[in-house]
Amino acid sequence: MAKTQYYVASSLDGFIADSENKMDWLEQFGFEAYEANYNAFVSEVGALVMGSATYQFILDEELQAWPYGDMPIWVLTSRELPMAAGANILFTSESVEVVGARALAAAEGKNVWIVGGGNVVAQFASNGLLDEVLVTLMPIVLGSGTPLLPIGGDPLRLTHFDTTQFDGGAVGLSYRVESAR
C-alpha cells in the first residue's frame, strides 16, 4: 500500500533550516554518504507535496534542471508563483485531505513525499494523513531555526522501525505514525 512520507534531514536539536531559514549547514556533510539512501527512497516515490516556501527555496537554488523530473507535484499556496521549467506542478489552495487523496491517486501505487518545511507535514499529521517520518539526524546543533515538525495539540505517536548509520556520524531514523489512516 502506498504511503505518505516525510523524508528530511534535521539537526540533532530538531531544526531543518537555521535561524535565517538557510540550509547551508548541510553542505559540510556532503551528499555522497547519503546518495544511495536518497536514491532508494526516491525510486519508490510517485508524487510530491510541498508548500510555497519550499517550492520558492528550490527555485531560488537556480538548479540547472528541475530535480524531480515530470513527477506530479502539488504546491500548497495562496499566492501566484512562477512555473519551474520542465516541472509537472499543480498549484492549489485546497485542503490537505483533498491534495493528499489526489497525490496518492497520481502516485499510482508508489509513495507520496511531503517535501521540505514542517508546516505542510504538520497539517498532514494533524489530519491523520501522514504514514511515516524518515529523518536523518545530522551531527550538528543549530540552537534555533525552522522546527522539524511543528505540530500543535495532541502529540504525534511514532513507532520506530529502522535505523541507518551513515559515515560521518549521521543517523537515519524511520518511524511509522501510529495515528495515520
pLDDT, tens digit (0-9, with 9 covering 90-100), for 111-140: 999 998 788 999 999 999 999 999 999 999
DSSP secondary structure string for all residues of 47-76? EEEEEHHHHHHHHHTT-SS-TTTT-EEEEE
* d(C-alpha 146, C-alpha 168), whole Å: 23
Q: What is the pTM of this model?
A: 0.94
101 Cβ neighbours under 8 A, 6+ residues apart: none
Fold of the domain spanning 4-177:
Dihydrofolate Reductase, subunit A (3.40.430)
Q: How would you class 143 by CB atoms within 10 Å of its CB: exposed for 0-12, middle for 13-18, buried for 19 or more?
A: exposed
Do 124 and 74 touch, CB atoms closer than 8 A? no
Domain boundaries, the chain: 4-177
Instruction: Encode pLDDT of 8-63 as tens digits.
Output: 999 999 999 999 988 999 999 988 889 999 999 999 999 999 999 999 989 988 77
